[in-house]
Amino acid sequence: MAHDVVQAVAHDFGSAAGGLESMSEHPSYLRVFLTFARNSLVRDMTFRTNFLVDVVASLTWVSMQLAFYLLIFAFAPSIGSDWGKYEFLVFLATTLLANSLVGAFFMPNLSEFSELIRTGHLDFALLKPIDTQFLVSFQRIEWSTLANFVFALCLLAFALVHLENPPQAIQWVLFIVYVGCGVAMLYSLMIALSSASVWMGRNQNLYDFWFYITNFSRYPMEIYEGPIGTPLRRAFTFVVPILVVVNVPARMLAQPLSAQNWPLAGFAILATAGSLLGSRWMFVRALASYRSASS
Amino acid sequence: MYARLLTWWTILRICLEERLVYRGDFALGTLMRFLPFITQIFLWSAVFAARDQSPLRGYSYNEMIAYLLLTNISRAFSSMPGLASSIAQQIRNGEIKKFLIQPIDLIGFLLLARVAHKVVYYVVALAPFALVFYLARGFFSGWPDVTTMLAFLVSLVMAFLLGFFLEATIGMVGFWFLEVSSLLFVYQLFSFFLSGQMFPIDILPSAARAAVDLLPVPYLAYFPVAVFLGKVQGTALAWGLLVQAGWVVLFMVASRVALHRGLIRYSGFGG
């Protein structure tokens, strides 16, 4: 079984790169990505019960979270000024959408990346005739996490039915674009943090740090106010744009479009481009400082 | 007797030294663990603002924040990172064999290792905890009286014992199933949402509250804090401590029985 998979990878890699003899040609990134996706699925389906347990576990986890927020809305009509129960459910669904995409596509890869640096196995990735960042970012896809994505879509549908102002087509387009931006920002933060393992050797704390920082993105930004909250909100908007990730797309869909949202929406585009470029720069710098750890 | 004490002391000392290797990392990690707490403060502040500050099932805003802060203390006693999974792992890879031939009791050894772990944790975490509680002193209305304080300390020690024996029992299930990670996940899920570390369980609807009261998990986080805040007093307090002690004894016996039965089943191969 494993042998077949290796054969399939080798074959696809060969054809994707246009054959070994023509290395100078650009590989087809899409085909390589599809191969990664298929291999991960084959791997997941090899241990089907484990896959099902993973799905049930992550669904139970998000259901419990949902129950917690429903409990909160039993006591308060709204959070912040604008977020009533159903608006907040749209917000929660947006959080789940962004996090499930990051969890499915990037989380397993980037925790592996720190490990590749620590063990020196990154050598093998550097030797492949394909962009190293692409390779270390997409190699493994955690299909079971996409169950949360489906859960989030159902939650979104349920919440939208109850909204007073159902979104229009343009809001949907903006929503999809900005969820994409949010995922790109989370990805950038993650790859920047895991690139730091080149200099730090080991970065368990940095990972916890990622978890703790993204924790701030779970709530509407309006709740951060007052002498501590306002600076905190500004820092997590303009320095590390973690609050923009969910807030901008969720507001696009849950609240009527309003001109006062445009500055932040414009900033979100800039922040996405900035984070992608910044993290790419950091990744390249990290590779330049990488000294193989193999003996 | 003396020899036995000496063995225990040696085990404790080895574990203490082992734990102190990465102390800087440890202190920083402890401080960072309070970061999610900041979002909780803002969340509840928004909830109370929407209620015009009216108390929520007996909790004022300040009390709610004090409650959530204090759960960090009860969790510092009752959480046992890696205990169940390491027991199951030792069963799986055969490391457990060494306890069969050495004159050391497995559960006793693990308990001492955990005590050492916790002692080091408290020493290193004291400064970050003191800092956070000092900054948040405005949320507290003063120290409780001596009886309450004593009951609080007793419930904390029992929370530690309950956490230990509960996870040890889950780990021992590894004799039968080898892999306990899904069982452990269920336990962690319950302990995360229903032990009271996310919210005080008395704000649950009454039917759910009654069901949760039948579980051991509230005694890991909720109960000690409720004692400190004076939510449980008089006979309710005595009864609560008694029930907590009952759970400790139950899981103490359960882990013993599981170990005994498990070792009879166990077969180790190879070196």
Question: CA B200, B201, B205: angle at the middle one, nearest 5?
Answer: 125
| Per-residue model confidence as pLDDT tens digits over B199-242 | 999 899 989 999 999 999 999 999 999 999 998 888 999 999 99
Nearest to A80 among B29, B33, B46 (CB): B46
CB contact under 8 A, A79 and B192: no
Contact status, residue A244 vs residue A274, Cβ threshold 8 Å = no
C-alpha closest to that of B36 among B163, B262, B236, B197? B197
Phi and psi based region of residue B178 (left: phi greater than 0; alpha: psi -120 to 50; beta: remaining): left
Interatomic CA distance for residues A241 and A274, integer angstroms: 10
CB contact under 8 A, A75 and B193: no
Mutation target among A223, A232, A233, A242 for the B interface, most CBs of B within 10 A: A223
Q: Which residues of chain A neighbour B35 with C-beta distances below 8 Å?
A: 212-213, 215
Residue-level pLDDT at B105? 84
Three-class SS string for B142-196?
Answer: CCCCHHHHHHHHHHHHHHHHHHHHHHHHHHHCHHHHCCCHHHHHHHHHHHHHHCC
Half-sphere exposure of A139 (CA within 13 A, CB side): 18
DSSP letter at A77? Answer: S
Strands (E) in A78-193, as ranges, are 78-79, 83-84
ipTM above 0.85, yes or no: no
Q: Examine the pLDDT at B167 and tell me if it is beyond 50.
A: yes
Burial B99-120 (b: 16+ CB within 10 A, else e): beeeeeebbebbbbbbbbbbeb
Residue-level pLDDT at A295? 46
DSSP letter at A237? Answer: I
A290 contacts: CB under 8 Å, gap ≥ 6? A117, A122, A198
Distance of CA B253 to the CA centre of its chain: 18
Å from B204 to nearest chain A CA? Answer: 7
B35 interfaces chain A, CB cutoff of 8 Å: yes
| Per-residue model confidence as pLDDT tens digits over B143-156 | 889 999 999 999 99
Å from A216 to nearest chain B CA? Answer: 6
Interatomic CA distance for residues A35 and B128, integer angstroms: 48
Q: What is the DSSP track for chain B?
A: -HHHHHHHHHHHHHHHHHHTTTHHHHHHHHHHTTHHHHHHHHHHHHHHHHTTT--BTTB-HHHHHHHHHHHHHHHHHH--TTHHHHHHHHHHHTTTHHHHHSS--HHHHHHHHHHHHHHHHHHHHHHHHHHHHHHTGGG---PPPHHHHHHHHHHHHHHHHHHHHHHHHHHHTHHHHS--HHHHHHHHHHHHHHSSSSS-GGGS-HHHHHHHHTSSGGGTTHHHHHHHTTSS-HHHHHHHHHHHHHHHHHHHHHHHHHHHHHHHH------
Both tokens of A264, joined, read 């932040």
Q: Which residues of chain B neighbour A47 with C-beta distances below 8 Å?
A: none
Residue of B nearest to A62 (CA): B189
CB contact under 8 A, A224 and B42: yes
CB contact under 8 A, B192 and A64: yes
Interatomic CA distance for residues B263 and B87, integer angstroms: 13
Half-sphere exposure of B148 (CA within 13 A, CB side): 14
Interatomic CA distance for residues B28 and B36, integer angstroms: 15
B206 interfaces chain A, CB cutoff of 8 Å: no
**Overall residue count recorded for chain A in this entry:** 295
B217 contacts: CB under 8 Å, gap ≥ 6? B190, B191, B194, B195
B29 interfaces chain A, CB cutoff of 8 Å: yes
Give B24 or B50, the one with higher predicted confidence.
B50
| Per-residue model confidence as pLDDT tens digits over B91-145 | 888 888 888 888 778 898 899 888 888 888 888 788 888 888 888 888 888 888 9
DSSP letter at A83? Answer: E
CB contact under 8 A, A76 and B51: yes
CB contact under 8 A, A205 and B43: no
State the amino acid at position B216 in one-letter form.
P
Nearest to A75 among B45, B51, B193 (CB): B51
Give B34 or A2, the one with higher predicted confidence.
B34
CB contact under 8 A, B45 and A215: no
Both tokens of A187, joined, read 């990805």
CB contact under 8 A, B47 and A76: yes
Contact status, residue A136 vs residue A109, Cβ threshold 8 Å = yes
Half-sphere exposure of A123 (CA within 13 A, CB side): 9
Residue of A nearest to B45 (CA): A223
Residue of A nearest to B190 (CA): A64
Q: Examine the pLDDT at B194 and tell me if it is beyond 80.
A: yes
Confidence class for position B25, pLDDT limits 50, 70, 90: low
Residues lower than pLDDT 50 in chain A: 1-22, 295
> Looking at chain B from residue 165 to 204, which residues have their Cβ under 8 Å from any Cβ of chain A?
182, 185, 189, 192-193, 198-199, 203-204
Confidence class for position B18, pLDDT limits 50, 70, 90: confident
CB contact under 8 A, B36 and A212: yes
Residues of chain A whose C-beta is under 8 A from some C-beta in B? 53, 57, 60-61, 64, 67-68, 71-72, 74-80, 205, 208-209, 212-213, 215-216, 218-219, 222-224, 229, 232
Burial zone of B159 (CB within 10 Å; 0-12 exposed, 13-18 middle, 19+ buried): buried
Burial B220-245 (b: 16+ CB within 10 A, else e): bbbbbbbbbbebbeeeebeebbeebb
Interatomic CA distance for residues A117 and B104, integer angstroms: 40
